[in-house]
Amino acid sequence: MSAEVVAVGAGLAGLAAAVAAAEGGARVTILEKRPEIGGSTVLSAGLSAFAGTDEQAVAGIADDPATLRRDLLETGRHRNDPALVEVYCSDQLATYRWLRGLGIVYGEVHAASGQSVPRSHPTDTRVLVRTLLDRARSLGAAFRPGTGAHRLIVEDGAVRGVRTTGGEELRADAVVLASGGFSRNPELLDRFAPRMGRALRGGAEGSTGDGLLMAWKAGAGVIDTPYIKGTFGIHPDPDGAEGGTGILAIYKGAIAVDRSGRRFVDESLPYKEVGDACLDRDGGIAFQIFDAAVMERSDPSVPIYDFAARTGNGLLHTAPTLAELARDIGVPADALEATVAEYNAAIESGRPDPFGRATLSGGVGAPVPIAVPPFYAHPSTAVVLATYCGLTIDPDMRVLDVFGEVIPGLYAAGEVVGGLHGAGYVTGTSIGKAAVFGRRAGLRAGAAA
């Protein structure tokens, strides 16, 4: 008899799990509490971290799972669960090929935080989730939009299904929790990450930690909560009109200065570390300062690098001189001019940067002087877009309890799980985690039941 699998959440992780389970012959039900699909996945910049892909080969980029593994462990300061890092590295290329096989297209590869080689593969996430949902349904999966999982059904220590928000009991051999993170749950954020009180809050409306709480009640362990961080680069617009991701001009050559007009951080660091440093500055605000040469590198296909789109919407300041730019954004003009002059002089003379900046981002690219007018300033702060920590799982995506023992019948994948990232974050490994772990969770849940 085929297994009954319930996937909780129709973001990337839940849909990947649903398709993989259905391809394995399981009977699948997908619950999504919101009327729409996609969760944080469709709000994201759509960058997936894969290594050894066709797009990298075309661009002449040498990359492989061993380099990816090293980047994940070094960026995560070896606080990652090595078994989950191993799963990610060993499964990622197969997952990429599987998605390509379903018709998913990736654009030009970019470098971003924590990557020793360019490895961020952009894709249209709306197409991604729609493709997976269509595929799941074509394999017979039932899709229940507007129906949330409310509680797990637990009998004799094993999970036997879920009770829905409407009070219905859905019995199942396996439940895959793929309900995303808790960036929209202020109480959980305050509990686990009080430092983020100054950060803005992003993520999808549905990211309220439901899966985490349901599994927690069933005895699940939780890991990596100290490493919740905000992402640098979002405009501190008090009306929240910004939405989305902000920009990371720092990775194309901008510097970051605080309200005193002075730099305060190595801008090539992962944007979560830059975010932490920014939140510690006066008002929790910084400015990304760049010139026309960086603007030339604007790329409309990658939201974090689409600087040009901001010239028309009031989010980006521009001026013919640094002094005028400084006055426009309210920082001391002499300080900003001196900061840029020192920065340029160090690059031109080959002197070490006082903050240790040696690259544009991660291990990629050489810093460039900021010299070609007009000049630009993007007010920036940090936003909690995703929570990175979560349930303890084993390499089969089975949820582990607080003593490290398997909770039978319960699987989890995507942002609801912890352990992969450790203390730092490699760009593209959240979308990557949702796809790679989601697919594996579906395969295992369907087979084990």
Q: Does 273 bind ligand FAD (CB under 6 A)?
A: no
Q: Does 43 bind ligand FAD (CB under 6 A)?
A: yes
Among the listed ranges 102-110, 203-211, 263-271, 401-409, the one in contact with ligand FAD (CB under 6 A) is 203-211
Q: Does 263 bind ligand FAD (CB under 6 A)?
A: no
Q: Among 58, 61, 59, 80, which Cα is nearest to 69's?
A: 80
SS3 83: helix
Residue from 53, 75, 80, 207 in contact with ligand FAD (CB under 6 A) = 207
Residue 37 in tokens = 């699909």
Q: Which residues contact 153 (CB under 8 A, 6 or more apart)?
A: 159, 160, 161, 162, 163, 169, 171
Residue from 221, 275, 367, 414 in contact with ligand FAD (CB under 6 A) = 414
Residue from 72, 178, 360, 420 in contact with ligand FAD (CB under 6 A) = 178
CB of 44 to ligand FAD, least distance (A): 3
Residue from 430, 441, 446, 449 in contact with ligand FAD (CB under 6 A) = 430
Q: Does 44 bind ligand FAD (CB under 6 A)?
A: yes
Q: Among 74, 9, 408, 359, which Cα is nearest to 212's?
A: 9
Interface of this chain with ligand FAD, residues 118 to 177, rule: CB under 6 A? 148-149
Residue from 18, 20, 26, 31 in contact with ligand FAD (CB under 6 A) = 31
CB of 417 to ligand FAD, least distance (A): 8
Q: Does 47 bind ligand FAD (CB under 6 A)?
A: yes
Q: Does 46 bind ligand FAD (CB under 6 A)?
A: yes
Q: Measured between alpha carbons, how far is 21 from 218 in angstroms, rounded to an integer?
A: 23
The neighbour count for residue 337, using CB atoms within 10 Å, is: 16
Print the binding letters for residues 344-383 with ligand FAD: x by CB under 6 A, - otherwise: ----------------------------------------
Count of residues that bind ligand FAD according to CB under 6 A:
42
The neighbour count for residue 35, using CB atoms within 10 Å, is: 7
Q: Does 244 bind ligand FAD (CB under 6 A)?
A: yes
Q: In terms of CB distance, is 148 or 367 closer to ligand FAD?
A: 148
Q: Does 236 bind ligand FAD (CB under 6 A)?
A: no
Among the listed ranges 38-46, 92-100, 191-199, 439-447, the one in contact with ligand FAD (CB under 6 A) is 38-46
CB distance 14 to 436 below 8 Å: no
Helices (H), 102-221: 125-138, 186-192, 210-217
Phi, psi of 86 (to 5 degrees): -65, -45
Q: Does 104 bind ligand FAD (CB under 6 A)?
A: no
Q: Among 215, 198, 342, which Cα is nearest to 279's?
A: 198
SS3 183: coil
CB of 96 to ligand FAD, least distance (A): 13
Interface of this chain with ligand FAD, residues 386 to 405, rule: CB under 6 A? 386
Q: In terms of CB distance, is 261 or 442 closer to ligand FAD?
A: 442
Residue from 206, 221, 261, 367 in contact with ligand FAD (CB under 6 A) = 206
The number of C-alpha atoms within 13 Å of 25 and in the hemisphere containing its C-beta is 6
Q: Among 173, 182, 180, 160, which Cα is nearest to 32's?
A: 180
Residue from 24, 39, 233, 390 in contact with ligand FAD (CB under 6 A) = 39
DSSP string, 264-315: -S-TTS-HHHHHHHHHTSGGG-EEEEEEHHHHTT--TTSGGG--GGGTTTTS
Q: Exposed e or buried b for every residue in 204-225, given b needs 16+ CB within 10 A?
A: bebbbbbbbbbbeebbbbbbbe
Q: In terms of CB distance, is 360 or 431 closer to ligand FAD?
A: 431
Residue from 56, 288, 381, 429 in contact with ligand FAD (CB under 6 A) = 429
The DSSP bridge partners found for residue 30 are 7, 143
Applying CB under 6 A, the residues found at the interface with ligand FAD are 8-14, 31-34, 39-41, 43-47, 148-149, 178-180, 202-204, 206-207, 210, 244-245, 385-386, 414-415, 428-432, 434
